[in-house]
Structure 1
């Protein structure tokens, strides 16, 4: 067992021991379906704290052949699937958190060198009998190991997009990173599954993607992955019953993400809740804004201040409860290449600040919790355009304010102050 090769199952064990664990193990059915196929490349993008890392830890614990983990899964939904035994603990797993490597390095070259060196070190330690043709070449090392073991790799990459969020303007670093991933993963026989998670979909250059072998499951196009990230309404109802909490209040605070799974002519609509917020509310017994523990309204403020025609009007209209038409097709899947308001609004969908309604291609502010973040951000901006609009929509804003007495008073004071200034 290495640090990154067959890393063990302690993280998933921790999830199972948590006071609240919601079974998402049927995700494994989906990944088992695509093993060794052209669809073996999966990229899932969701906002922070939507269960992406937990899912990666679960996949690692399931596939890792270093230890028998049947005890972890025998009571979960996956244990009833026909592919369960066939793939349990049958693969070598590589699991990387790219944010960890980015935080330990000063340049993209140092980051990629560190990934190569650390993985090669794990391979040499784990497979001392393998004759390596080139001990400095990660791809060749993995080919040599695969030739020796005949056991392909499950490659799990968490926070895959961190470089695009922290190196927003560095196009050369972004290109080197994408080229590394493409060379490492594309058309490689040693890959049984390559599974990446992040906040942003895969970066596009023009109309093309450097990682075009990946099937993407995003907030705007979740397809069959819709129910596996975030809590569904049925799951939240069960938690409310268990913890004696009011479901309608929970729904008003944390519901609002509408995701559509499309399978041929069939469409299944899911109301998805932010897991962290629901868990915090259930355990504390207090309905409050837990969003600012994952994001900050400072980030939101920067985006809604961008000088694009119609952007400010759209924000105000959505605070008043209206839906705004949007074209998500022009978004370049980064945080800087905006051509207009639709690109900014699309980014806010992926960050979790807006909910995308697929049937009519509109966006709304999802719930009371997130609406607070907009009010917090606007209270710091104090631009005339926003203040004038807030005066016009003052009554409607109070309608989307929080029924929870303390929060309603807080909102009322903020809006009244803005309207008087």
Structure 2
């Protein structure tokens, strides 16, 4: 549900806030136990113009309360809505607040067991990304967590004397209550390479706190990296893990589905096709398409598509991962950058605490987990334009040798095309083809397309590039749709062991320009015929204005 569908006026919403504050009473001074913070955070999210209702996940978690399946760990890349769901769960389950007025308006209100679990539990909500300001050692970090939780328990249960207990779990057990644990960014110290010597100690802390403890009604844990395993198992082997690669249960609740993005576009000013081009490309294990929600919302707010994920500080990792094994993965990356998918089976997942990836599959696994690559049904690809731009930046690094030259030359290719500079076009195609990269040697039917894709790589900055697009009486090899009103649209047709004249003839006879004339009306539209002669090893090219009709063409 989009927030606009709720039809709540500003005054009515203000009254709701007042009521919530009254029901909360005096602000809870606790940090982890039964705090108001999750509700306050969820209210902010709920009030957003582009709010999307993900509350149905609650019904799935309700079914797991006080069962063997009560330990749930869900891992996703940054900015896929993990913390938002954590705030929602805290707002729903916590007995310290009354959130019925919000949740009655959401999808979860129609589910069985909705009222049975609403605001009924003690909730311990910890985000592990807080670092002690007293010291910077692991001992300072874990002491802050332990002592804060003890303080919260004593505040709620005055009869508990912390000095009577050897460990935290025994102290909580003596409350004789049930608790729901919500842990956000559980992997923070692993993901940021902190306290390396003590990371197993942290896993043991979580195990002692949670495993086989009668006070655990539910533990919902989320982060970027799957749980670390060592020896033959894991300290946290009681958890059911739902990762980007394997989650068939909760996939649709992290990221916006295609249906949700379409609905958002109805309420906004953005064209769905533009959002799809920029942010589509991830597929859950169950086959559901999902979009990075932060990027979609930012594009809607700014009425402009660009790479918003770069602002999270994560994208420098693209270059780092590519450099781990440049020679082995370079050809695959070139193929993916040129729009192809890689056929590869990846079974093992990159996990918290694992050494830097070395083999091709380890590197790909890490990049999938972090959201840099998309993997579905045995095929690996760069998910969308947002990520493609980051790969382009990474490949421009001098450490990638000739690849960086290709990226730089691609900027000249676009200018040469719109200017009709055929000599430069042929020179660039020749250089790309004669590079040291095997995939660009015309070994199969896709290789000429791959060369052209690389030659026009930087055109993605200002054009929407479509392959095999339906237009007129057939399908274009490449369609270049300008994103700026003054840029020139053009169609590229490829031929091997043929003539560029025949390529232009095909563009005209099959009326590929038809769709462009509807879209761009009076603008010039160019036809570009590119051919390769396998005997002479030479390229040839012709460029014509499709709005000028040569003799013999209507």
In the superposition, the TM-score normalised over structure 2's length comes to: 0.68
Q: Which residue is 1:338 aligned to? A: 357
1:35 aligned residue: 65
User: Are residue 395 (structure 1) and residue 423 (structure 2) matched?
Assistant: no
How far 1:314 sits from its partner (Å)? Answer: 1.6
After the TM superposition, which residues 149-228 of structure 1 pair with which residues of structure 2 at under 5 Å, given as runs? 151-167=177-193, 171-228=196-253
- Give the match for residue 350 of structure 1: 369
The CA deviation string for residues 4-54 of structure 1, in whole angstroms up to 9 with x for no partner, is 101111111111111211000001011101001111111111111111001
Q: Does 1:4 align with 2:32?
A: yes
Q: How far apart, in 2, do the equivalents of 1:381 and 1:345 lie?
A: 22
Structure 2 CA distance for partners of 1:111 and 1:258, relative to 1, 3 Å = same
Answer whether contact 2:275 2:305 (CA < 8 A) is retained. Answer: yes
- CA deviation after TM superposition for structure 1 residue 327, in Å: 3.8
Secondary structure of 2:221's counterpart equals strand
Number of aligned residue pairs: 396
Name the CA distance, whole Å, in 2 between partners of 1:316 and 1:388: 13
Residues 325-352 of structure 1: per-residue CA shift (max 9 Å, x gap): 3343334414534241111111111111
Confirm or deny that 1:245 pairs with 2:270: yes
Match of 2:299 in 1: 281
Contact 2:96-2:119 within 8 A present in 1 as well:
yes
* Closer/same/farther in 2, CA of residues 130 and 324 from structure 1, 3 Å limit: same
Gaps of 5+ in 2: 1-27, 408-431, 433-439, 441-449, 465-481, 488-554
What is the alpha-carbon distance in structure 1 between the residues aligned to residue 486 and residue 193 of structure 2?
Answer: 40
Q: What is the 5 A alignment of 1:26-175?
A: 26-101=56-131, 105-130=135-160, 134=164, 137-145=167-175, 147=176, 151-167=177-193, 171-175=196-200
1:304 CA drift (Å)? 0.4
Normalization by structure 1: what TM-score? 0.88
Contact 1:257 1:355 in 2 (8 A): yes
Aligned to 1:266: none
1:409 shift after superposition: 12
Structure showing greater Rg: 2
Instruction: Give, in whole Å, the separation in 1 of the partners of 2:403 and 2:234.
Output: 37
Offset at residue 101 of structure 1 (A) = 3.3
Change (3 A) 1:407 1:332: farther
1-side partners of 2:244 and 2:406: how far apart? 29
* Alignment of 1:376 onto 2:393: yes
Note if contact 2:75-2:226 (Cα within 8 Å) is conserved in structure 1.
yes
Kept in 2, the 8 Å contact 1:325–1:362? The answer is yes
TM-superposed deviation, 1:259: 0.6
Instruction: Decide whether aligned partners of structure 1 residues 188 and 310 sit closer, same or farther in structure 2, where only a CA change above 3 A counts.
Output: same
Q: Residue in 1 aligned with 2:381?
A: 364
Q: Is the 8 A contact 2:397 2:404 kept in 1?
A: no
Between the aligned partners of 1:199 and 1:249, the Cα distance in structure 2 is 28
Q: 1:16 aligns with which of 46, 70, 73?
A: 46
Which structure has more RCO (C-alpha within 8 Å, separation ≥ 6)? Answer: 1
Answer whether contact 1:42 1:195 (CA < 8 A) is retained: yes
Q: 1:283 to 1:140 in 2, by over 3 A?
A: same
Which structure is higher in helix share? 1
Provide the secondary structure at the position in 2 that maps to 1:85. helix
1:105–1:326 CA distance, 2 compared to 1 (3 A):
farther
CA RMSD of aligned residues (A): 2.4
Contact 1:131/1:144 (8 A) holds in 2: no
CA–CA distance in 2 between the matches of 1:375 and 1:104? 42
- Aligned-partner Cα distance in 2 for 1:316–1:226: 29
2:281 equivalent to 1:256? yes
Partners of 1:119 and 1:311 lie apart in 2 by 46
Relative to structure 1, the CA distance from residue 37 to residue 230 in structure 2 (aligned partners, 3 Å threshold; closer, same or farther) is same
Seen in structure 2, the aligned counterparts of structure 1 residues 89 and 289 have a Cα distance that, compared at 3 Å, is: same
Distance verdict in 2 for CA 1:200–1:105, change over 3 Å: farther
Q: Do the aligned residues in 2 keep the contact of 1:154 with 1:193 (CA within 8 Å)? A: yes
258 and 172 in structure 1: CA distance in 2 versus 1, 3 angstrom threshold: same
* CA distance in structure 1 between the partners assigned to 2:350 and 2:296 by the alignment: 31
Residue aligning to 2:334 = 316
| Equivalent in the alignment of 2:542 | none
The equivalent residue for 2:403 is: 386
